[in-house]
Amino acid sequence: MERREFLNKTLKTAALGITMPTIVPSSVFGKNAPSNKVNIGQIGCGRIARDHDLASTLKHDSARIMAACDVDRNRLEDGKKLIDGFYAKKMGNDKYMDTKMYDDYREMLLNKDIDAVMISTPDHWHSQPAMEAALAGKHIYLQKPTSLTISEGRQLAHIVNKTRVVFQVGTQQRSSPQFRIAAELVRNGRIGKLHTVKIGLPGDPSGPPAPEMPIPKGFNYDMWLGSTPKMPYTEIGVHPQKGYDRPGWLRMEQFGAGMITGWGQHHFDSAAWGMDTELTGPISVEAVAEFPKAGLWNVHGDFMVKAEYANGISMYTSGGFTNGIRYEGTEGWIFVSRGNYVASASDPVTAAKSAKALDASDPKILSSVIKDNEIKLQVSEEHHLNWLEGILNKTPVLSPVEIAHRACSVCLVSHVAMKIPGKLIWDPKTERFTNNENANKMLSRPQRAPYGTDKIFAKAK
């Protein structure tokens, strides 16, 4: 039996009878017992994994990262060195951890000692491994955007809800106190009736032409391409072979939609928290955008998107606004941003321009106390910790799958609107456009065999 057939059959069997990891109370073995740690496999060992997901998770005693996977052997070995080195320094023992390496995440999912996975892969490799991890009974921390298409996102939400694994998407702004405070103040009427939201989000530059290059040794380029079409390898279309600078795939529509999904899900998710639209979406969307006319990079540059909601709120998104979210009501405004926080060293934003994390038309708005009888939103100390606590304590996570899918959907319908002139009418219940079939054709993409979510979803049903 071929390895792929074996893996597929094993994952299918797991989907029929999932056994969730058993967490033994701390009173049995003590707070540092193995039963009180979540054994984690890291899928993807690139920039966002090293700078953010691994860095943020390793520091928590409740996490034990024991395995790593990447299709680029150099990055996989670097990931192992990072993890082993962290534990060697922390424990004073260079033999404490010998991180298991995998070049195929499906083999990692067969490891029964692994309770959970963190998926820090390129955007086109988010939904499929998350779906397969859920079917294998693994809890999931998934980098945003949730999906490459709205169809993939809905498939993922269905599988996660069916398997009931603990799922958290990496919209970590929810765990930054200023975004929660801003949303609470807006939800409790401190700026009157909310009518307009303005979101600042940059575009991407065009890039040079890039000739075909030899595929680097130790890099499974076919698997890296995944369900997307075959294309010649070039380094600036994938990731740097030396170092961990911002990768070129972020600027190619084959693998995503550019900043509208790259940072858009963060801001659309945070905005929905304040707008009370987390479990729905806009009812119309229209946009204008500039796209490169030459070069390898082809995602949007400057743009403006307008989305209208059933509750009467209009949301505008553009690089012309300061990066962050501005809520405007009948009695004032509140602005919130990341301030000086960056998730990675190559974040495409000048921190100095977003240095004020929380501002308002009147300083008294920000000092207003939320009373016990008012809306209070969930508090999280740190986003990865919130996920770990959800696994160990069975408590709600801040960014579960349906909220994640809805935020990503706003990104994706905005991207569709960039391509199709005029106002598009969106039905958030059916997740279809009601006035343009060409727009509906963009809700999914053809998937190159043997990869893709369609096959996984069909088997899981």
Quick: pLDDT tens for 334-350.
999 998 654 444 445 44
In a shared domain, residues 154 and 264: no
| % pLDDT > 90, the chain | 86
Contacts of residue 92, Cβ cutoff 8 Å, sequence gap at least 6: none
* CA 252 to chain centroid: 17
In whole angstroms, what is the distance from residue 109 CA to residue 43 CA? 10
Tokens at 193, concatenated: 């009736």
Q: Which of 10, 226, 17 is nearest to 1 (CA)?
A: 10
Residue 23 has a pLDDT of 39
Residue 432 has a pLDDT of 98
Reply yes or no on whether the pLDDT at 225 is more than 60.
yes
Q: Report the DSSP beta bridge partners of residue 141.
A: 118, 168
Residue 385 has a pLDDT of 98
Q: Report the DSSP beta bridge partners of residue 125.
A: none
In a shared domain, residues 24 and 145: yes
In whole angstroms, what is the distance from residue 447 CA to residue 409 CA? 19
Mean pLDDT of 62-89: 98
In a shared domain, residues 193 and 143: no
Q: Report the DSSP beta bridge partners of residue 101.
A: 68
Contact 12, 137 (CB under 8 A): no
Which residue reads 């100095």 in tokens? 352
More confident residue, 101 or 355: 101
Look at residue 166 and tell me if it is in a domain.
Answer: yes
In whole angstroms, what is the distance from residue 436 CA to residue 329 CA? 32
Residue 34 has a pLDDT of 57
Residue 356 has a pLDDT of 82
Look at residue 190 and tell me if it is in a domain.
Answer: yes
Mean pLDDT of 183-196: 98
Residue 16 has a pLDDT of 41
Containing H/E element for 15? helix 3-16
Identify the CATH number of the domain in which residue 46 sits. Answer: 3.40.50.720
In a shared domain, residues 352 and 409: yes
In whole angstroms, what is the distance from residue 349 CA to residue 201 CA? 9
In a shared domain, residues 261 and 161: no
Contact 116, 20 (CB under 8 A): no
Sheet arrangement for strand 63-69 = 100-102, 63-69, 38-43, 116-119, 139-142, 167-169
Contacts of residue 299, Cβ cutoff 8 Å, sequence gap at least 6: 203, 204, 250, 251, 252, 253, 256, 257, 258, 259, 291
In whole angstroms, what is the distance from residue 291 CA to residue 205 CA? 9
Residue 35 has a pLDDT of 67
In a shared domain, residues 85 and 183: no
Place 461 in a pLDDT band, splitting at 50, 70 and 90.
confident
Residue 207 has a pLDDT of 87
In whole angstroms, what is the distance from residue 244 CA to residue 9 CA? 36
In whole angstroms, what is the distance from residue 284 CA to residue 314 CA? 10
In a shared domain, residues 198 and 131: no
Reply yes or no on whether the pLDDT at 151 is more than 80.
yes
Residue 52 has a pLDDT of 97
Place 8 in a pLDDT band, splitting at 50, 70 and 90.
low
Look at the chain and report how many structural domains it folds into. 2
Residue 317 has a pLDDT of 98
Look at residue 118 and tell me if it is in a domain.
Answer: yes
Look at residue 383 and tell me if it is in a domain.
Answer: no
In whole angstroms, what is the distance from residue 215 CA to residue 238 CA? 11
Containing H/E element for 408? helix 401-419
Q: Which amino acid appears at position 431 of this protein?
A: E
Look at residue 237 and tell me if it is in a domain.
Answer: no
Phi, psi (5° rounding) for residue 192?
Answer: 75, -150
Look at residue 229 and tell me if it is in a domain.
Answer: no
Contact 378, 273 (CB under 8 A): no
Mean pLDDT of 186-201: 98
In a shared domain, residues 166 and 180: no
Look at residue 250 and tell me if it is in a domain.
Answer: no
pLDDT digits (tens, 9 = 90+) for 45-67: 999 999 999 999 999 999 999 99
Helix axes of 127-135 and 3-16: crossing angle, nearest 10 degrees: 60
Give the sign of the dihedral formed by CA 398, CA 403, CA 409, CA 411: negative
Residue 351 has a pLDDT of 45
In whole angstroms, what is the distance from residue 144 CA to residue 264 CA? 9
Residue 5 has a pLDDT of 52
Mean pLDDT of the chain: 91
Mean pLDDT of 364-372: 95
Mean pLDDT of 432-436: 98
> DSSP state, 299?
S
Look at residue 44 and tell me if it is in a domain.
Answer: yes
In a shared domain, residues 96 and 200: no
In whole angstroms, what is the distance from residue 197 CA to residue 23 CA? 43
Residue 166 has a pLDDT of 98
Place 33 in a pLDDT band, splitting at 50, 70 and 90.
low
- What DSSP string runs through 178-221? HHHHHHHHHHTTBTBSEEEEEEE-------------PPPTTB-H
Place 95 in a pLDDT band, splitting at 50, 70 and 90.
confident
Instruction: Note the residue count of the chain.
Output: 461
In whole angstroms, what is the distance from residue 429 CA to residue 85 CA? 48
Residue 433 has a pLDDT of 98
| % pLDDT > 70, the chain | 89
pTM score: 0.90
Which range marks the domain in which residue 289 is found? 174-205+256-374+402-443
pLDDT digits (tens, 9 = 90+) for 12-24: 444 443 333 333 3
Mean pLDDT of 289-299: 94
pLDDT digits (tens, 9 = 90+) for 389-402: 999 999 999 999 99
- In a 10 Å sphere around its CB, with 0-12 CB exposed, 13-18 middle and 19+ buried, how is residue 45 labelled? buried
In a shared domain, residues 199 and 140: no
Reply yes or no on whether the pLDDT at 278 is more than 60.
yes
Helix axes of 127-135 and 150-163: crossing angle, nearest 10 degrees: 20
In a shared domain, residues 108 and 196: no
Give the sign of the dihedral formed by CA 41, CA 345, CA 351, CA 198: negative
Identify the CATH number of the domain in which residue 278 sits. Answer: 3.30.360.10
Mean pLDDT of 347-366: 74
* Other CB atoms within 10 Å distance of the CB of residue 135: 24
In a shared domain, residues 275 and 338: yes
